[in-house]
Chain A
């Protein structure tokens, strides 16, 4: 299928450092969604991007959709221990979600 590739797989940061995860596709995406999954938890929706070049912010989180709609990124400014978890991008196709492999973020206090 048309996969979305996510990098890096793991990221370890010191509390207060910034964090970025990237999502890439070989084909043009109609939309991209981002989810957060805490350890032992389930995916929780964060945001959906649909427009070329779109940038959305949620407090310390900034989400971008590339101009060509083939990539997206999630940036967290000044990480906190509450940011720990795995961040997934996903594209919606035919109703279902196709997830990337996720980036696991650990934050050292």
Chain B
């Protein structure tokens, strides 16, 4: 694939619903990152995978947020019992895992919780 892809691009959920956001990283990229970007703010780190291992989940705001990458490729970010403050753009990024490599961002999923 040419770049990082994310689906869906837009998601509207009623408060209390569960949502699942998908990220397909660039083929062969070892590292995968999730960020949350609120309107008018910079992206904020949520969690980081190296292959299938979740090495850092310090940015997940609550236990309603869960991320997985079971086969070391596609990743899913799940938000349970969504709340209005979860409304944001969720960005996925990937890279080769080398310390010198930049991160390549996907187009994001815009989540609106009503």
Q: What is the interface of chain A, defined by CB distance below 8 A to chain B? A: 6, 33, 41-45, 48, 88, 90, 94-102
Contacts and interface: CB of A to CB of B under 8 A. Distances in A.
Interface in B73-114: 91, 93, 102-108
A43 B42 CA distance: 10
Interface in B21-40: 31, 33, 35
Given A45-B102, A95-B48, 9 more contacts: A33-B102, A42-B108, A44-B105, A94-B56, A95-B33, A97-B35, A97-B43, A97-B45, A98-B45
Interface residues of B, number: 22
B42 A102 contact: yes
B62 interface: no
B18 interface: no
A76 to B, nearest CB: 19
Contacts of B107: 41-42
Interface of B: 31, 33, 35, 41-45, 48, 50, 55-56, 59, 91, 93, 102-108
Contacts of B48: 95-96
A98 to B, nearest CB: 7
B43 A43 contact: yes
Contacts of B102: 33, 45, 48
Which are the 5 A-B pairs with shortest beta-carbon distances? A99-B42, A42-B105, A45-B102, A96-B45, A43-B105
